[in-house]
Amino acid sequence: MEERLNLNDLIHDWNKQEASARPARVELNDETLRDGLQSPSITDPPMEVKLQALHYMVELGIPSANIGILRLVQEIAQQRLPIRPNCAARTVIRDVQVIVDISQAAGVAIEASTFIGSSSIRRLAEGWDLDAMLRHTEEAVSFAIRNQLPVMYVTEDTTRAQPEVLKPLYQTALDHGAYRLCLADTVGHITPHGVRRLIEFFHQEIVKDRPGIRLDWHGHNDRGLAVANSLAALEAGVDCVQGTILGIGERVGNTPLDQLLVNLKLLGWIDHDLSCLPDYCRLVSEHCAGPLPYNYPIMGRDAFRTQTGVHAAAIIKAKELGHEYLANRIYSGVPAELVGRAQEIEIGPMSGKSNVIYWLESRGIPARPELVELLFAHAKRSRTVLKESEILELIAAREMEGTVGKGGR
């Protein structure tokens, strides 16, 4: 049956795009070990964990990472890892000098991500004027280029800045050697519509006559739109999107890189092996105190778990057809096997008897009618899903009653 099934025959995909509408290039930049650690609730993990995270990035096919730490750059050099390191620096020469020092010590070119605030609200708070900002931009970018560092120029709060400010800032950076430009939604202000308008402005007004310039998108999740905005940015023509595992970062966090990876895979825009993604997410959750709520998309405990009778019955029927493909899609928008997970059927107050039967049989326990009735009745009286230990205790007690009864006769 497996060979005869075709996804297009079973699921009509309204998300499907014409080949001409797909991004020409999709790159990812992992900022977990820099931007992600800026959250006041996050723990800075030990170096061995950071090294492990770096290797997970490689396994996931992530080509670049913000990791301005000498030991990590040395690991890239020594292990010949296919990952491009970059490091953030204010448009201040002493900040860029630190990157130069690390690059020379490791023998690896590190991309200098030189940044400066751009919105009027930031400029008012800082007391900056545009002439000074242009001067700092020229000095920092020129210094990095003279020291043989590739430069990505970033304006903080790009999404709330005026066009007449953005244009001279980015043009100055390009004139002095920057080869990448990053657009930052620093406070999670923009919507997908705004993303498209902003990137259109960049294509028409800033990089139109400059072939080969790359555009990056850096998003935050304050309005819950980070993933949608990143996809819109790729559709609009950026080359690379940045994010962090589990979306850790300041305030409510950055674009969740794990969710972005899965969505890109489902859209057919990347073909990366995501089997180690749950391990990477657990590493961040455990060692950085990264939040992983039970209902977190894809990686949360309940992402592929149900107690509802109707849902469970449909999954069970699909399994009975002998096809995990059906079971992993009939009540799921993300195939569980994509990230090495499986459907889980629990017993609770919303369950039907099919839940009980499946639970027992999947553990090699005979689903005798009296046992099914016992567990079903107990579940209906419960306010929560039954724990495995609780169910096993009920089964053991039932077996004991049966043994005692036999002995008494």
9-45 tens-digit pLDDT:
788 888 887 766 778 889 999 999 999 999 999 999 9
Output the pLDDT for position 19: 67
In this structure, are 63 and 168 located in the same domain?
yes
Within a domain: residue 5? Answer: no
Provide, rounded to the nearest whole percent, the portion of the chain with pLDDT above 70: 96
In this structure, are 86 and 226 located in the same domain?
yes
Within a domain: residue 81? Answer: yes
Within a domain: residue 147? Answer: yes
Output the pLDDT for position 403: 62
Q: Which residue has the tokens 């723990």?
A: 43
In this structure, are 312 and 271 located in the same domain?
no
How many Cβ atoms sit within 10 Å of the Cβ of residue 215?
22
Domain end residue (candidates: 252, 287, 322) = 287
Output the pLDDT for position 103: 95
Output the pLDDT for position 331: 87
In this structure, are 170 and 27 located in the same domain?
yes
Range of the domain at 218: 17-287
Within a domain: residue 2? Answer: no
In this structure, are 175 and 264 located in the same domain?
yes
Within a domain: residue 205? Answer: yes
Output the pLDDT for position 172: 97
pTM: 0.91
In this structure, are 113 and 242 located in the same domain?
yes
Output the pLDDT for position 330: 85
Counting as low any pLDDT under 50, the low residues of the chain are: 1-3, 407-409
In this structure, are 22 and 115 located in the same domain?
yes
How many domains does the chain divide into? Answer: 2
Structure tokens, 404:
């005692």
Domain end residue (candidates: 242, 259, 287) = 287
Within a domain: residue 8? Answer: no
Output the pLDDT for position 409: 42
Output the pLDDT for position 309: 87
d(CA 332, CA 311): 10
Long-range pairs, 21-27, Cβ under 8 A, ≥24: 21/235, 22/267, 22/268, 22/269, 23/234, 23/235, 23/237, 23/269, 24/237, 25/239, 26/234, 26/241, 26/264, 26/269, 26/270, 27/63, 27/64, 27/239, 27/240, 27/241
In this structure, are 322 and 394 located in the same domain?
yes
Structure tokens, 21:
């509408």
Output the pLDDT for position 1: 45
